[in-house]
Amino acid sequence: MAHKKGGGATKKNRDSAGKRLGVKIFGGQKIKPGNIIIRQRGTSFYSGDGTMLGKDHTIFAVKEGIVKFRKNQGKRIVYVV
């Protein structure tokens, strides 16, 4: 009778896949309606003119133009010109 446990994988050897968060289109780049600008958890960035905030806090464009970033009273705002 063996006096060793089975040689399976360790219990703590699990990790989740990356969620691909972050800025997808940077300031000065052209954008079309529906394109995602930022994927985020919580509102690090806020949506301004020409953008909307999705239910998972994703910021996306609602009109065609150029992406701009601005700071207003400590809040980072994304908008499309």
Q: Which pLDDT tens digit goes with each residue over 47-60?
A: 999 999 999 999 99
pLDDT at 5 over 80: no
pTM > 0.85? no
CATH number of the domain within which 56 lies? 2.40.50.100
- What CA–CA distance (Å, rounded) separates 19 from 22? 9
Place of tokens 């239910």: 55
pLDDT at 81 over 80: yes
- pLDDT band at residue 40, thresholds of 50, 70 and 90? very high
Range of the domain at 55: 22-80
Q: Which amino acid appears at position 80 of this protein?
A: V
What single-letter DSSP state applies at residue 17? P
pLDDT, mean of residues 19-47: 96
- pLDDT band at residue 6, thresholds of 50, 70 and 90? low
Kindly state whether residue 31 falls inside one of the protein's structural domains.
yes
What single-letter DSSP state applies at residue 44? S
- What CA–CA distance (Å, rounded) separates 40 from 43? 7
- What CA–CA distance (Å, rounded) separates 17 from 15? 7
Domain total of the chain: 1
